Amino acid sequence: MTTVLSLFGILPNKIGGQEAFARELSVQLAKQSCQSVLCFAGTPPDHVRDYLALSNVTLEMLKTPERMEYSVLRDFGVILRRHKPDIVHLHYVGFLSWYPWLARLCGTRQVYFTDHTSRPALHVLKQAPLWKRILTRTINCPLTSVISVSAFGKRCMTALDVLPQNRFHLIYNSVDTSRGRRDPDAGVKFRRKYGIPDSRAIVTQVSWLIPEKGISDLLEAAALVLSQNPEVQFVVVGDGASREEYVTLATTMQIQEHLTWTGLVQDPLGEGVYAAADIVCQVSRWEEVFGFTIAEAMACGRPVVATEVGGIPELVQDGQTGFLVPRGAPDQIADRILALTHDADLRRRFGQAGRNVAAKRFDLEQNVSQLLGLYGLDGRDHH
């Protein structure tokens, strides 16, 4: 029986894009009579554990997997020997690690790495220095393939020239397009929970509260919007190191009455974050490699205002599924939000077009099936 071990260097503290991917991967592996070992950087809370629990799933934990320390490698070796996986897939750990060698030494036949890394603002694509190319090719010699989650990400990786070009594959990150539509009242419940008046249009951003996500630009845009249309509520979903700084800034700008800070929402799709929103923003300043929240918003039929950075233009088609604006341009963000708040028909057209794009390009079942094809698990009996 084939066993696939997926190592995620993240804490599974909510039902988000990666947790949905892990579950769908396990569902499709079960159909191939394969075992799925899901290894996270921490123990999932009960609601996430229940969501991931399937008959072919085993949950494991590896503390601080991003650190190449002896104790971490030793513990991973124990997990490898316990499950004897045929395939190991690495997520959210460094591209340079000893995990591929360790997996191969423990008998693993295939080792994959998915690059989820966003790049700094104005990142320049260029070839790595010769010494780094040699070192990287040596360390990553055991890698079967590298998965890029956007064409932008693939260009960044291949430009480095650290592995043969044929080892890189593009498989978009994906969303469960069905989950946001299971409760028709989820949006109303979300609005009631946070006391948002029915008369106010909701503009939402779901992200970490860090400078790279452009939160200060969103707040400046909010002030401009509210000066022309006070019937708007800005909802910021997420948490992060800069939260208090942004709350203080909103108070200083005297827009706090039109801002809702939800903190971390355990299940944004299920709890109606997108169902309640009229417009969804993602105004990042750095080069986003993908944009899970954009794909989720599109899957829920919501128009998007986003910055033209990294892989975001692969999701948002300017003037068709939403608006793209330059990074760090709160005046243009505000203009696009106002245009959408004033035109319900435009919101509907963008939303429907976005839903169609999400179903075609970012469908979870379809893209996980593509990954299984890369694994070689394509319907043949793997006993």
Same domain for 295 and 196: yes
Task: Tell me the mean pLDDT in the region 353-377.
Answer: 95
Place of tokens 């750095």: 286
Same domain for 290 and 196: yes
Place of tokens 């579950």: 23
Task: Tell me the mean pLDDT in the region 192-203.
Answer: 96
Under DSSP, the state recorded for 165 is G
Cα angle value 340/343/349 (rounded, 5°): 80
Residue 302 has pLDDT above 50, yes or no: yes
Task: HSE, CB side, 13 Å, CA atoms: give it for residue 41.
Answer: 15
Residues with Cβ < 8 Å from 299, sequence gap 6 or more?
A: 175, 176, 177, 180, 274, 354, 355, 358, 359, 362
Q: How confident is the model at residue 294 (pLDDT cuts 50, 70, 90)?
A: very high
Under DSSP, the state recorded for 179 is G
User: 96 and 162 in contact (C-beta within 8 Å)?
Assistant: no
Same domain for 257 and 149: no
Same domain for 256 and 130: no
Same domain for 356 and 261: yes
Range of the domain at 59: 3-174+363-375
Cα angle value 57/60/64 (rounded, 5°): 145
Same domain for 290 and 226: yes
pLDDT value at residue 237: 97
Lowest mean pLDDT among 8-12, 184-188, 244-248: 184-188
pLDDT value at residue 184: 81
Determine, yes or no, domain membership for 381: no
What is the rounded distance in angstroms from the CA atom of residue 184 to the CA atom of residue 98? 47
Task: Tell me the mean pLDDT in the region 113-134.
Answer: 91
Of the candidates 96, 151, 97, the residue with the CA atom closest to the CA atom of residue 125: 151
Higher pLDDT, 305 or 382: 305
Determine, yes or no, domain membership for 131: yes
Residue 351 has pLDDT above 80, yes or no: yes
Residue 293: CATH number of its domain: 3.40.50.2000
pLDDT value at residue 132: 87
Same domain for 370 and 326: no
154-164 per-position pLDDT tens digit: 999 999 999 99
pLDDT value at residue 208: 94
pLDDT cut 90: percent of the chain above it: 86
Same domain for 284 and 262: yes
Same domain for 159 and 60: yes
Beta strand residue intervals within the chain, DSSP E: 3-8, 35-40, 57-61, 87-91, 110-115, 145-148, 168-170, 201-206, 232-237, 259-263, 279-282, 304-307, 322-325
How long is the chain?
383
Number of folded domains that form the chain: 2
Same domain for 212 and 169: no
